Structure 1
Amino acid sequence: MMEQHVELEAQIGRWRGYVQRRQAISPADIDELEDHLREQIADRQATGLDDEEAFLVAIKRLGNLDAVLREFAREHSDRLWKQLVLVPEDSDGAGTPPWRELAVVLALAVGAGLAVKIGTIWLDDEAVLARNLGLLVFPFLGAYFAWKRRLTASVAAMLLIPFAALAVVLNVYPFVPGGSTEVLAILHAPVILWLLAGVAYIGGRWRSDNRRMDFVRFTGELAIYFTLLALGGAVLVGLTFGALSVVGIDLEPVMEDWIMPFAVPGALVVAAWLVEAKQNVVENIAPVLTRVFTPLTIVMLLTLLAVFTAAGGLVDVDRELLILMNAILVLVLCLLLYAISARDSLAQPGLFDALQLVLVIAALAVDAVMLTAMLTRIAEFGFSPNKIAALGLNLLLLVHLLRAAWLTVGFLRGRRPFGALERWQTRYLPIYGAWAAVVILAFPPVFGFA
């Protein structure tokens, strides 16, 4: 009986995932629709049907899903996603006018650029500026999410308190200039800031697995849009530079002093808005991207593993190579998360799921070799902030990937629902934030701020 209820929850989870991916209604309305589905299931169970029969009958009683979504769309037309147009042609006056949101986004983008520009003037020390760069941009991205989600005062306080604490630590700690703990703080601060942005994005509902997965999906889509904006901007700037150089005008000082400080943070805010406005467009591309890059990444990992193994004794492995492999493992994890978020949870196991398992196993092999190399170097040369930070990250990755591999095997064999794999990814994410906090808060005093 317990197994039946577990399977019922898995079926409801897959149904909810399908509804979410249609992007026609808000999360609150999805909750309402799910409640209606559960009521229908309970009614059918009361007549003596088992879980599976009650679920199937309840789904049929709800009617065609597209019709349900159209009904919700008519009742909540102000919440519909609009694709392929920046400003909808029709507006019934409900909700926020599209032009107002565009104005808010542009104002926040310019504000982020101004904050970075002022920071480059006031914080003339490059290390100090690097420590504060994320702190200068995050308030504007967080402000967009707060405005978009209409955050409550309690959620806003939940964001401001850790943000203020991080700002104090990064600017009060007496870091040794150019020291390892300062570099580690610079590298780990964006992790905490991004998780805070995630809390703002999901409206403070951090305990919801579905909303966390929404943020994972948003992060992948943001990376796509930001890259497209960066590439497009680079082409335009390059053409402009080339044209003006013909007449003897050098724009390099303008590029360094004005274009970059405004373009990069501004593009981040604009990309976030584009994800919100054009979500379905990217979701159509996401499965294609993951299917292209997953096999390519597998080949890359196997090649790097062979090169890494053939590099000689583990003690003699170049430090820069270890750092590079660490970065590659993080990128592999990001690809895995985005692939899971982009997958239709209702689909049956297939070839691509098997490829993902191969990807995870290859990443585990690389991680195991790296951990061996790190432990060997620590035994030979002793502890250092960088070594401990890298060791901790690789242990976290090892646990994450091992569990992901186990759940993927269970899914491929039909013993576990895909939702179990999704929940593991989203519930493990805060662990990385906790580790980043340890590196920023504890490492500097422990290692004398060096």
Structure 2
Amino acid sequence: MNTERTGLERQIDQWRAFVARRPAIAAHDVEEMEDHLREQVSDLAATGLDDDEAFLVAVKRMGKLDDVSREFAREHSDRLWKQLVLFPDEHPGGGAPAGLGRFRDLGILLALAIGAGLALKLLTLATGDESRILLNGPFLVLPFLAGWFAWKRDVGWRTTTALAAVTAALAVAVNLYPYFRGEPDPGTGDVYAEPAMTLLLAALHAPVVLWFLFGVVYAGGAWRAGTRRMDFVRFTGELLVYLTLIALGGMLLIGLTFGVLSLAGVDFEPFVEDWLAPFALPGALLVAAWLVEAKKSVVENIAPVLARVFTPLAALMLAAMLVALLAGKPLDDVDRELLILMDAVLLLVLFLVLYSISARDPQARPGTFDWLQLVLVATALAVDAVGLTAMLVRIAEFGFTANKVAALGLNLILLVHLAWAGRLTLGFLRGTRTFAATERWQTTYLPAYAAWALVVAIAFPPIFAFT
């Protein structure tokens, strides 16, 4: 038995002795808890954590289910903070550095990030059309991220081949469509019209389909499992937080560099546009994904914490919006962008609900925050009902367009999602339903968004004559 394994067994022995001292726990209960702990450690080790990290995270997770284990995790929480460094200096029992495996993973990921940057750079050299770059960029970048996770998750070749085929078919379809680009000038032959709305819709919705395909890779091919889908939801939220932090730090660094070089008479802008941006954007995505995975579950996730902070603020904002809509100008005179704003509102509420649910202890009794979430959902549905009525009036008066139908469809999908979530939450608060039903609904409904995004990207261009 190697040194690291001996260290793990020593920690499990210490944990078992601690639990066995509790007078309310029988010997067979200790054995059952130990089996569960070992399963958790094994699962976490398979994701890339070393044994020491896997043990600490497993104990922390069990702390959500058992008061004794929670007490143990609290007593030894100082060691969790020591795991926050990116690369530990050495193994718990001495010997070879424990960070070598992570250095290898990071090295491979950085190589993939450079490959994604080169692909994006070649795309910009091949076409100067910004709409085409927007359309094809995700098809060139996301496969590199999916490749890294396929390697980490050991995804089978059949799943990988099927996902690659679907991605390629989608890319070919959206690129072969003859999008309308406007009438050419009779004198010069130049076309100055804006890109077709169906082209922009395809560019916005195709990445949504790709992200769900990537979710299958992230889940190791086991996409049907509700727990894997919720893990993907958590990953997405944490990734957005990390990306935002990296983007803010990057913009600050670029701004300072730009200012210093400007004072020195050096034009930094061409380098940023031609070289830094094509490599920085995919690089930030892949590095953020690596950071989320490297420190997954070592400390509490950030997205659920932000959800708890912004839930009461969002409820107040929605109440103010409802009053403004009811007391403002007539519904048939509202701006045409209202439906898009309503979609943004419902998406915000959905994110707050999802990430609050993802971090909630399913065994806990209903509390004040659960009631607050119900108020948030009910207020959002009331605001959306008013906004949806206004948009239906405008559509009846001015007719359908591609962007209106796309926004309307998303609005209805969000409406059903949140309405049923609110019904399940109310049942949980009244004691007629379990919290598991609410959580299961959130993950079961997710493919509806991918299906609608696929319809918009593939079916809308021919339906609306590629305009």
- Post-superposition Cα deviations, 1:266-312, rounded to whole Å, max 9, x if no partner, equal 10011111111011256344443221111111122222223333441
Q: Distance in 2 between matches of 1:200 and 1:122?
A: 30
The correspondence of residues 146-185 of structure 1 with structure 2, limited to 5 A, is 146-177=150-181, 178-185=195-202
Q: Distance in 1 between matches of 2:28 and 2:428?
A: 24
Structure having the higher Rg: 2
Match of 1:420 in 2: 437
Q: Distance in 1 between matches of 2:198 and 2:43?
A: 54
Match of 1:104 in 2: 108
Q: CA deviation at 1:193?
A: 0.7
The correspondence of residues 229-308 of structure 1 with structure 2, limited to 5 A, is 229-281=246-298, 283-308=300-325
Checking the alignment, whether the CA contact within 8 Å between 1:294 and 1:359 is kept in structure 2 is yes
The correspondence of residues 373-384 of structure 1 with structure 2, limited to 5 A, is 373-384=390-401
Q: CA deviation at 1:259?
A: 1.7
Q: Distance in 1 between matches of 2:206 and 2:301?
A: 32
Q: Given residue 37 of structure 2, which amino acid in structure 1 is its aligned partner?
A: L
Match of 2:118 among 114, 121, 126: 114
Q: CA deviation at 1:57?
A: 8.6
Q: CA deviation at 1:143?
A: 0.7
Q: Distance in 2 between matches of 1:125 and 1:179?
A: 13
Q: CA deviation at 1:74?
A: 8.2
Q: Secondary structure at the match of 2:452?
A: helix
Q: Secondary structure at the match of 1:283?
A: coil
Match of 1:145 in 2: 149
Q: Distance in 2 between matches of 1:186 and 1:326?
A: 18
Q: Secondary structure at the match of 1:231?
A: helix
Q: Given residue 179 of structure 1, which amino acid in structure 2 is its aligned partner?
A: A
Checking the alignment, whether the CA contact within 8 Å between 2:118 and 2:279 is kept in structure 1 is yes
The correspondence of residues 15-414 of structure 1 with structure 2, limited to 5 A, is 60=29, 62-64=31-33, 68-69=36-37, 73=41, 79-80=48-49, 82=53, 83-90=83-90, 97-177=101-181, 178-281=195-298, 283-414=300-431
Q: CA deviation at 1:344?
A: 2.0
Checking the alignment, whether the CA contact within 8 Å between 2:238 and 2:301 is kept in structure 1 is no
Checking the alignment, whether the CA contact within 8 Å between 1:73 and 1:80 is kept in structure 2 is no
Q: 1:76 to 1:194 in 2, by over 3 A?
A: closer
Q: Distance in 1 between matches of 2:370 and 2:418?
A: 15
Q: Distance in 2 between matches of 1:201 and 1:129?
A: 26
Checking the alignment, whether the CA contact within 8 Å between 2:241 and 2:302 is kept in structure 1 is no
Q: Distance in 1 between matches of 2:89 and 2:365?
A: 39
Q: Distance in 2 between matches of 1:338 and 1:173?
A: 38
Checking the alignment, whether the CA contact within 8 Å between 1:188 and 1:440 is kept in structure 2 is yes
Q: Given residue 152 of structure 2, which amino acid in structure 1 is its aligned partner?
A: K
Q: 1:287 to 1:181 in 2, by over 3 A?
A: closer
Calculate the TM-score normalised by the size of structure 2: 0.79
Checking the alignment, whether the CA contact within 8 Å between 1:286 and 1:342 is kept in structure 2 is no
Of stretches 333-342 and 396-405 in structure 1, the one that deviates more from structure 2 is 333-342
Q: 1:203 to 1:284 in 2, by over 3 A?
A: closer
Calculate the TM-score normalised by the size of structure 1: 0.82
Q: Given residue 120 of structure 1, which amino acid in structure 2 is its aligned partner?
A: T
Q: Distance in 1 between matches of 2:150 and 2:41?
A: 24
Q: Distance in 2 between matches of 1:72 and 1:413?
A: 33
Q: Distance in 2 between matches of 1:224 and 1:59?
A: 43
Q: Given residue 449 of structure 1, which amino acid in structure 2 is its aligned partner?
A: F
Q: CA deviation at 1:98?
A: 2.1
Q: Given residue 248 of structure 1, which amino acid in structure 2 is its aligned partner?
A: G
Q: 1:207 to 1:231 in 2, by over 3 A?
A: same
Q: 1:169 to 1:111 in 2, by over 3 A?
A: same
Match of 1:12 in 2: none
Q: CA deviation at 1:76?
A: 8.0
Q: Secondary structure at the match of 1:427?
A: helix
Q: Distance in 1 between matches of 2:413 and 2:361?
A: 27
Q: 1:282 to 1:256 in 2, by over 3 A?
A: farther
Q: CA deviation at 1:320?
A: 2.6
Gaps of 5+ in 2: 1-7, 9-24, 54-82, 182-194
Q: Secondary structure at the match of 1:319?
A: coil
- Post-superposition Cα deviations, 1:104-152, rounded to whole Å, max 9, x if no partner, equal 1111111122221111111211111111111111111111111111110
- Post-superposition Cα deviations, 1:332-391, rounded to whole Å, max 9, x if no partner, equal 212221221122222221111111111111111122122212211111111211121111
Checking the alignment, whether the CA contact within 8 Å between 1:117 and 1:258 is kept in structure 2 is yes
Q: Secondary structure at the match of 2:446?
A: helix
Q: 1:237 to 1:414 in 2, by over 3 A?
A: same
Gaps of 5+ in 1: 1-23, 25-55
Match of 2:459 in 1: 442
Checking the alignment, whether the CA contact within 8 Å between 1:185 and 1:440 is kept in structure 2 is yes
Of stretches 213-222 and 373-382 in structure 1, the one that deviates more from structure 2 is 373-382
Q: Given residue 85 of structure 1, which amino acid in structure 2 is its aligned partner?
A: V
Runs of 4+ in 1 over 6 A off after TM superposition: 56-59, 92-96
Q: CA RMSD in A?
A: 2.6
Q: Secondary structure at the match of 1:279?
A: coil
Greater share of helix residues, 1 or 2? 1
